[in-house]
């Protein structure tokens, strides 16, 4: 008989804990104010403007960020996140790390960009889209 009472108590406890967790999940989600929707939508819009001059809609585009420049400082999570968001935004163009392609997206902070430009200015035509984003077209292949 004790087992039956224990079983009844356990079912009741599971039900109570389930209600508690369900309500807590609801309240915590209602009260959280994540802005991911805006961040991703803004990134998409910026990138669509940036790739507008590229004359093809399908193919391969290069990409570099601070992570690809020796000595430049960067946050690893941000660097990965921005790379992923860029690929997400410019699909169906395929994004490949490096600047070996004719068209390349540069995502660099001002100082890193200046250093990169010193070494590469003769090879690329560059359009500055602001916010550290540049479109670089290789002129010397």
* Closest to another protein by CB, 94 or 127: 94
Q: What is the largest CA-CA distance in the chain?
A: 88
Task: Convert residues 52-71 into a mask of x (bound to another protein by CB under 8 A) and - (unbound).
Answer: -----xx-x-----------
Residue 47 found at the interface with another protein (CB under 8 A): no
Does residue 46 contact residue 39 with C-beta atoms inside 8 Å? Answer: no
Residue 76 found at the interface with another protein (CB under 8 A): no
Which one of residues 54, 72, 79, 96 is an interface residue with another protein (CB under 8 A)? 96
- 53 is written with which tokens? 């001059």
* Closest to another protein by CB, 8 or 114: 8
What's phi and psi for 117, nearest 5 deg?
-65, -40
Helical H runs in 69-109?
A: 76-90
Report d(CA 57, CA 51) in Å as an integer. 9
What's phi and psi for 104, nearest 5 deg?
-140, 140
Mark residue 74 as left, alpha or beta (left: phi above 0; alpha: psi -120 to 50; beta: remaining): beta
Query: Measured from the CB of residue 114, what is the shortest distance to another protein in angstroms?
Result: 27
Task: Convert residues 4-43 into a mask of x (bound to another protein by CB under 8 A) and - (unbound).
Answer: x-xxx-xx--xx-xxx-xxx-xxxxxx-xxxxxx--xx--
Q: Return residues touching another protein (CB under 8 A).
A: 1, 3-4, 6-8, 10-11, 14-15, 17-19, 21-23, 25-30, 32-37, 40-41, 57-58, 60, 80-81, 83-85, 87-88, 91-92, 94-97
């Amino acid at each position: 008989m004790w087992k039956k009472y224990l079983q009844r108590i356990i079912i009741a406890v599971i039900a109570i804990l389930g209600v508690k967790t369900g309500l807590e999940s609801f309240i915590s989600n209602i009260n959280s104010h994540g802005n991911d929707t805006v961040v991703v939508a803004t990134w998409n819009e910026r990138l669509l403007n940036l790739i507008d001059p590229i004359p093809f809609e399908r193919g391969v585009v290069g990409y570099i960020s601070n992570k690809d420049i020796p000595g430049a400082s960067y946050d690893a999570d941000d660097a990965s996140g921005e790379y992923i968001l860029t690929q997400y935004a410019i699909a169906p163009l395929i994004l490949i790390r490096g600047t070996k392609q004719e068209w390349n997206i540069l995502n660099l902070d001002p100082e890193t960009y200046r250093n990169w430009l010193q070494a590469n200015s003769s090879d690329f035509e560059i359009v500055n889209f602001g916010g550290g984003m540049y479109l670089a077209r290789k002129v010397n292949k």
